[in-house]
Amino acid sequence: MVVKECKLYSKEKKGKIKCLACAHKCLISKGKTGVCGVRKNIKGKLILLVYGKVVSMNIDAIEKNHYMVFYLKVMLLVLEVLDVI
């Protein structure tokens, strides 16, 4: 599991963290997650629990992609991962 510390947060009183990544601006106590459930206060740091996880994986014909200019008739493995911090 890849552990990634978020950048958009501020430390508040009593070990709480204020996440600034979206309009909810959750105030998160130690060991708890924000409204989204993917950012957690772990030992006073805001950790993104889903960083690097695969969101989707599929094989596409390259003609569906803009790389077709270079490699005609080739299949393409498409991986999408989460990397928002």
Binding residues for ligand SF4, per CB under 6 A?
Answer: 19, 21-22, 24-26, 34-36, 39
Nearer to ligand SF4, 31 or 57 (CB): 31
What does each C-alpha distance from 47 to 7, 44, 56 come to in angstroms? 9, 9, 22
Least Cβ distance, residue 41 to ligand SF4 (angstroms): 9
Nearer to ligand SF4, 18 or 62 (CB): 18
Residue count (the chain) = 85
Nearer to ligand SF4, 7 or 64 (CB): 7
* Side-chain-facing half-sphere of 65: CA atoms under 13 Å: 16
Least Cβ distance, residue 56 to ligand SF4 (angstroms): 21
Least Cβ distance, residue 78 to ligand SF4 (angstroms): 26
What does each C-alpha distance from 61 to 24, 25, 84 come to in angstroms? 40, 41, 28
